[in-house]
Amino acid sequence: MSEKDMNDKVNEMLQRSEANVKKAEKSFIHPEDEEREVVAPDGSIIKVNPIYDYFSGEKPKEEKPCSGIIEKFLNWARAESIWVLGFGTGCGSIEIPPLVTPRFDMFRFGVQMRPTPRQSNAFIISGYLSVKTLKRVIRTYEQMPSPKYILALGSCTINGGMYYDSYSTINRLDKYIPVDVYIAGCMPRPEALLAGFTKLKELIKEGKGEKANEYARNFDEYKANQKKIIKDWNMPDYNW
Amino acid sequence: MKDLIEKLTEDFKISDVVYQRPDLAFVTVPKGVAISLVTELRDFEGFSHFVMMSCVDWIEEGKFQLLYLLHNPKTKTDVGVKTFIDRENAEMASAHHLWKQVWTYQRELKEAFGIDFPGSPRVDENFVVEGWTEMPHMRRDFNTKEYSQNTYFPRPGRETNDPAEYMRKKLYPNEPITAKKQDNDK
């Protein structure tokens, strides 16, 4: 890169910095999400507010379980195919790769990893969770199709663990999103994780894997807790 | 190393020289000449590699101590340039024009300690924490435990044990505590 190019880049970044200062005084909304006017294909000018227009503003709804044997069958099917989102939040995410290897082999439990929240129904919160990551976790969790399950790994998600006095990590996960199974330990071994999956399967088969409905039922309460700590809330209330 | 520092002592009002190792020395200079000394070292003495920049909070003296650590790749020596700045309205001349990686360090220091570097690019943007509204979190008067307890719903029932005492009770429950052991504990 020539010196001129470099100088141009520096100037561009300086300008962006100034713009950011001005923006920070206003709000935390990203420039691309700000309310603005755009030209429609037919030439008319329309106002858009991306956060409310591009996403559904509706709150999540409770889904009533089917009756009797149908629900039992569905629960059996759900329990036998747990698709986990490949999202590591803390040090515990290092315990997940061994599960895929032949030694622990989670596929024999019907568990597999998926790359996108749209295809997964289980979310492993692996270890300490900072507020910054919690924001991404909420956004991802809400995009998963229900019924969805959360496994909280490690003592950090239970009571803060060794980071209980940290300014940036949360203490109790169940105040922000509903948790199905807690796996205690610091860190839990892959065997403990498999035990957690087995427990989750039992819960689902008993018809107790209804935490997505619980989230919908207590949506306002969860949202209030989330917004209490995520000060730069610049996303829709429900990210579906 | 000694020759170099002796040569620069008068011009840059160097005080408190510490020769840590044959290839590592720390010097303290007044706030006003710190950046000039760093520039001199970079341009004329061959300390072209910027290793890191950090800050120490001397809360009892009301000062922040900034450290610029530089490396000379030819002679394989390091020099740390230290300077003290006031804790109230902390502000320091920016060194972003010397190395581009200084931007990031200064942005970090702005967020963590609240030290302002006027003119440094993107210095006001978030670095690690997002939307932080409290006092800068690495200052020593910020009580992180209290903040955590007030903010993050601590789960009741958490116990803390003294590790030495707890292990003695668990491993050697019948062994009497001798006078020597008690002294050691103190």
pLDDT at B75: 94
Of A14, A169, A232, the CB nearest to B131: A232
How far is the C-alpha of A126 from the C-alpha of A197, rounded, in Å? 14
Output A30 or A186, whichever has higher pLDDT: A186
Give chain A positions within 8 Å (CB) of B157: 159
Q: What is the CA radius of gyration of chain B?
A: 23
**Mean pLDDT along residues B145-156:** 90
Give chain A positions within 8 Å (CB) of B126: 232
Q: What is the longest distance spanned by two Cα atoms in chain B?
A: 70
Closest-CA residue in chain A for B128? Answer: A132
Which range has the worst mean pLDDT, A88-97, A114-123, A231-240, B172-181?
B172-181
pLDDT at A66: 86
A18 CA to chain B: closest CA distance, Å? Answer: 8
In the numeric block, which tokens belong to residue B176? 């009497």
Q: What is the CATH number of domain A68-229?
A: 3.40.50.12280
- DSSP-assigned states of every residue in chain A: --HHHHHHHHHHHHHHHHHHHHHHHH-S--GGGS-EEEE-TTS-EEEE-HHHHSS--PPP---PPPPHHHHHHHHHHHHH-EEEE----SGGGGGSHHHHSTTT-GGGGTEEEESSGGG-SEEEEES--BHHHHHHHHHHHHHSPSS-EEEEESHHHHH-GGGTT-SSB-S-GGGTS--SEEE-SSSPPHHHHHHHHHHHHHHHHTT---HHHHHHHTHHHHHHHHHHH--S--S-SS--
Closest-CA residue in chain B for A226? Answer: B152
Tell whether the model's pLDDT for residue A15 goes beyond 80: no
Tell whether the model's pLDDT for residue A161 goes beyond 90: no
Helix (H) or strand (E) holding B181: helix B179-185
Closest-CA residue in chain A for B158? Answer: A159
How far apart, in Å, are the Cα atoms of A30 and each of A14, A19, A134, B102, B143?
Answer: 18, 12, 18, 26, 31
Single-letter residue type at A75: N
**Residue from B18, B118, B98 nearest B53 by CA:** B98
Of B128, B130, B152, the CB nearest to A171: B152
Tell whether the model's pLDDT for residue B50 goes beyond 90: yes
Tell whether the model's pLDDT for residue B35 goes beyond 90: yes
Q: How far is CA A169 from the centre of its chain?
A: 15
Suggest the residue from B106, B110, B148 to mutate for an interface test with chain A (most A CBs closer than 10 A).
B148
Domain ranges (residues) in chain B: 2-153
Q: How far is CA A223 from the centre of its chain?
A: 13
How far is the C-alpha of A99 from the C-alpha of A114, rounded, in Å? 14
Give chain A positions within 8 Å (CB) of B143: none
Beta carbons of A17 and B147 less than 8 Å apart: no
Cis peptide, bond prior to residue A147, ω within 30 of zero: yes
**Residue from B143, B147, B135 nearest A171 by CA:** B147
Cis peptide, bond prior to residue A6, ω within 30 of zero: no
**Mean pLDDT along residues A112-126:** 93
Q: Which residues of A make CB contacts under 8 Å with B?
A: 10, 13-14, 16-17, 20-21, 24, 28, 131-132, 135, 158-160, 164-172, 175, 225, 228-233
Which residue's entry shows tokens 């089917």?
Answer: A66
Beta carbons of A183 and A154 less than 8 angstroms apart = yes
pLDDT at B182: 60
Output B166 or A21, whichever has higher pLDDT: B166
Q: What is the CATH number of domain B2-153?
A: 3.30.460.80
pLDDT at B79: 95
Which residue's entry shows tokens 């789960």?
Answer: B155
**B11: Cβ contacts below 8 Å, ≥ 6 apart:** none
Helix (H) or strand (E) holding B85: strand B77-86
Does ipTM exceed 0.85? no
Beta carbons of B124 and A17 less than 8 Å apart: yes
Of A13, A132, A229, the CB nearest to B151: A229
Domain ranges (residues) in chain A: 3-53, 68-229
Give chain B positions within 8 Å (CB) of A24: 124
Please count the residues of chain A: 240
Beta carbons of B154 and A167 less than 8 Å apart: no
Tell whether the model's pLDDT for residue A1 goes beyond 80: no
Question: What mean pLDDT is reported for chain B?
Answer: 90
pLDDT band at B78 (very low <50, low <70, confident <90, very high): very high
Beta carbons of B16 and B27 less than 8 angstroms apart = yes
**Mean pLDDT along residues A195-213:** 93
B21 CA to chain A: closest CA distance, Å? Answer: 36
Of A132, A165, A175, the CB nearest to B129: A132
Question: What mean pLDDT is reported for chain A?
Answer: 87
How far is the C-alpha of B34 from the C-alpha of B32, rounded, in Å? 6
pLDDT at A48: 86
Which residue's entry shows tokens 């561009």?
Answer: A12
Of A14, A21, A164, the CB nearest to B148: A164
A165 CA to chain B: closest CA distance, Å? Answer: 4
Beta carbons of B28 and B15 less than 8 angstroms apart = yes
